[in-house]
Structure 1
Amino acid sequence: MTDFDHRVGVKEANLVVRNLRLSKVTDANRNALMEDVDHLFGIDEASFNATDSTIYLAYDATNINLDGIEDIIKKHGAAIHDDWWTHTKEEYYKFVDQNIKDNAEHVPWSCHKPPQGTGKKPKK
C-alpha cells in the first residue's frame, strides 16, 4: 500500500489500528458518535461492532491521538469499558501513539558526520 490508498492526513508509516471496548453505547448515540469520529482529521477507518460493543479505529498517530477520540466518545454519553484488560490496552496504545509522534518529529543525526567547515580546504 501507498499513502494514496488512505484518506488525506494518513501516512502509511504512522498508521495504527486500535480496538477498544465501549460501554453506554445505545442506538441513539452510536450513529452520532461514529459520524464525529469518522470526520476527524487523521482517521483512516472507523467502525463499531454492536455485538461486543467494540470500536475499531485506524488512524495516523502523528495527527490524532486516543485522548481526542476519547473526548468525542464521552461527549456522546459513552465511555471506555471499565475493566483491567481494556485499561491496559488503552495505556499501551497511548504509549505507542506518543512514541510514533515523537519519532516522526525527531531529526536524525550521525556521529560519523564531520562538523561543518572541516571538509577539504581549497587549494591556493
Structure 2
Amino acid sequence: MSDCEHRPGVKEATLVVRNLRLTGVDNQNLETLQTDIVKLFGIDDVTYNEKSEVIYLTYDVSHINLENIEEVIRKHGADTHNDWWTYIKVNYYQFVDQNIKDNAKHQPHCCHKVPGTKTS
C-alpha cells in the first residue's frame, strides 16, 4: 500500500493495527465513540465487533498513541476489559508504539569510512 491509500497525515512506515477488548460499549455510546476516535489526527481506521466486544484500531504512532485513544474511550463511559490478557496487550502495544516512534525519529549514521578520509 502507498501513503495515498491512507487518511491524510498517516504514514505507512509508522502504521500499526491494534485490537482491544472493551467493556461498557452499548448502542447509545458506540456510534459517538467511533466518531470521536476517527476524528483524532493519525487514526486510519476504527471498527468495532459487537459480538466479541473488540475494537480494531489502525493508527500512525508518530501522531497519536494508545493512551490518547483510551482517553476518548473512557470519555464515553467505556473502558478496556479488566482482565490480565488485555492488560498485557495494552502494555505491550504501548512499548512497541514508543519503540516505533523513537526509531522513526532516529537518524542513522555509518562509521565505516574509506581509509584516509576525514570526518567533518
TM-score range, shorter chain: over 0.9
**1:111, CA displacement in angstroms?**
1.2
How far apart in 1 are the matches of 2:102 and 2:39? 24
Residue of structure 1 equivalent to 2:35 = 35
How far apart in 1 are the matches of 2:92 and 2:62? 16
**1:115, CA displacement in angstroms?**
1.2
Residue deviations 1:92-113 (CA, integer Å, cap 9, x gap): 1000100011011111111124
Residue of structure 2 equivalent to 1:52 = 52
What residue ranges of structure 1 are gaps of 5+ in the alignment? 117-124
Residue of structure 2 equivalent to 1:72 = 72
Give the aligned residue type for 2:68.
G
**1:64, CA displacement in angstroms?**
0.6
**1:78, CA displacement in angstroms?**
0.3
How far apart in 1 are the matches of 2:2 and 2:13? 9
TM-score, with structure 1 as normaliser: 0.90
Counterpart mapping for 1:1-124 below 5 A: 1-113=1-113, 114-116=118-120
Note the aligned Cα RMSD (angstroms). Answer: 0.9
Alignment: residue pair count: 116
SS at match of 2:17: strand
Give the aligned residue type for 2:42.
G
What residue ranges of structure 2 are gaps of 5+ in the alignment? none
Percent of residue pairs bearing the same amino acid type: 56
TM-score, with structure 2 as normaliser: 0.93
Give the aligned residue type for 1:97.
D
Give the aligned residue type for 2:50.
A
How far apart in 2 are the matches of 1:75 and 1:107? 37
